Amino acid sequence: MDCIFCKIVNGDIPSYTIYEDDLVKAFLDVNPDVNGHLLIIPKKHYKDLFDIDEKTLMHIFETAKKINPILKEKLNTEGLTLVQNNGLLQEVKHFHLHLKPQYKEKQRILKPEEIYNIIKE
């Protein structure tokens, strides 16, 4: 399988990992729309919402709830948008949930490495 997200899970491609456990990995998007834009993916390959099991799906949303306070504390976010695409809009055919922080004022987009260092300090 030539899935970029599976390669990230396997460690073949590096990532700026914010959170990881037995089921999921959360890492910063390499082409962020906003500072702190990250993805939560299941470690097991599921194509989309219609392929993933309920337990893993719920765990992904529970992980989003765990990550939100970190984004609030470290990046001073004011809200969070969750986005999950299927079919035509899905660039990578491996289920993933985008977490896109919201800010009161427009932010200059920083490199993922810079955001990673802020979150991990």
CA 91 to CA 54: how far, in whole Å? 22
Nearest residue to 83 (alpha-carbon basis) of 101, 62, 66: 101
Residue length, the chain?
Answer: 121
> Is position 96 annotated as part of the catalytic site?
yes
Determine which one of 37, 45, 59, 96 is catalytic.
96
Q: What DSSP designation does 109 have?
A: P
C-alpha–C-alpha distance, residues 84 and 90, integer Å: 8
Active site residues: 96
